[in-house]
Amino acid sequence: MQVFGQQLKLMEMEHTHVEILNHSKRSPELRLKASASPPSITQERTKNKQNTVTLSSGHFSEMKQRFLKFKKEKYLENSDHYENLADKQAPKFMVIACGDSRVCPSNILGFEPGEAFVVRNVANLVPPHENGPTETNAALEFAVNSLKVENILVIGHSRCGGIRALISMQDDDNSSSFIKSWVMVGKPARLRTKAAASDLSLDQQCRHCEKESINQSLQRLLSYPWIQDKVRSGTLAIHGGYYDFTNCTFEKWTLEYDSSSSAVDGGYCLRNREFWS
Ligand SMILES: [Zn+2]
């Protein structure tokens, strides 16, 4: 009976997969879902696998060429430098940037290996100290306390999808989403943007919030006692940057401690604003 039971189950599975295959002819999405397939559709799987391998090997073959070019033209040409780097790193910069594929800090600002300790997250946000551990503040702790970087640079950018999600969110949105939960870290920047620019278009509000959230992140950095101490003693500087990839410009500014500044500003002010175009 047990064997018969197993056979019946197999027949049911077979039937289910035939159904999935029939549907999958109409729906590519269903075809993807039917990944745990029995031998009866091995042919289909092999065909899909071949397509996938062909596509991947094309990408990796280009990647391999880039890596070998890097090895020949940079690594081997500067072998002393890379040997030193193999022993230790001493970057001067900690960079917090968005994960967006268009805004790689090493690419746009030319950081070479060993020059910047980089953490990238959705919308380049810094969570407050009281929120507890995240990968971003773990990276901050290591960069500031162990590597003793001298600068933290938070880089925002134009057309940021994370900031757009933050601005577009409905106040009564109770959906559970990793993106929503994360970008809510930027809620104060959203509130300030809504207060200052709610009459502007969505695109303009996003642009406003992209910059507002950078300054929020700079302030948030000061909620970490070990960062605030170093900023006050002058051994660590914190900067904001904004990369606009629609016209390839970069704004850069610095948050400085100023004992003569009013208590309203928390003793800090923004200085040394530069516009690179
Ligand atoms: Zn972004």
Distance 243 CA to ligand 1 centre (A): 10
What are the residue ranges of CATH 3.40.1050.10 in the chain? 91-276
Write out the catalytic residue numbers.
98, 100, 102, 157, 160
Asked if residue 89 has pLDDT above 90, the reply is: yes
Q: Please tell me the predicted confidence (pLDDT) of residue 201.
A: 97
Task: Give the mean model confidence (pLDDT) for residues 252-277.
Answer: 82
Q: Which amino acid is at 269?
A: C
Q: What does pLDDT average to over the chain?
A: 84
> What spatial distance separates the first Cα and last Cα of the chain, rounded to whole Å?
79
Per-residue pLDDT tens for 7-55? 434 444 444 343 333 444 444 443 444 344 444 545 555 555 555 555 5
Which has the closest alpha carbon to 129: 115, 144, 147?
144
User: Binding site for Zn(2+), residues?
Assistant: 98, 100, 157, 160
Asked if residue 173 has pLDDT above 70, the reply is: yes
Per-residue pLDDT tens for 117-159? 999 999 999 999 999 999 999 999 999 999 999 999 999 999 9
Distance 121 CA to ligand 1 centre (A): 8
Model confidence band, residue 59 (pLDDT cutoffs 50, 70, 90): confident
Superfamily the domain 91-276 falls into: Carbonic anhydrase (3.40.1050.10)
Model confidence band, residue 267 (pLDDT cutoffs 50, 70, 90): confident
Residue % of the chain over a pLDDT of 70: 77
Beta carbons of 238 and 152 less than 8 angstroms apart: yes
Distance from C-alpha of 254 to C-alpha of 236, rounded to nearest angstrom: 11
Tokens of 150: 């001298």
Asked if residue 239 has pLDDT above 50, the reply is: yes
Q: Which amino acid is at 68?
A: L
Q: Please tell me the predicted confidence (pLDDT) of residue 153.
A: 98
In angstroms, what CA-CA distances link 14 with 25, 38, 100, 178?
Answer: 17, 7, 43, 36
Distance 124 CA to ligand 1 centre (A): 7
Asked if residue 2 has pLDDT above 50, the reply is: no
Q: Please tell me the predicted confidence (pLDDT) of residue 28.
A: 43
- List helix spans (H) across the chain: 2-26, 28-33, 42-70, 79-87, 105-109, 135-141, 161-168, 178-183, 187-197, 202-221, 225-233
User: Binding site, residues?
Assistant: 98, 100, 157, 160
Beta carbons of 251 and 274 less than 8 angstroms apart: yes
Determine whether 213 is exposed, middle or buried from the number of CB atoms within 10 Å of its CB (0-12, 13-18, 19+): buried
Distance 101 CA to ligand 1 centre (A): 9
Distance 49 CA to ligand 1 centre (A): 33
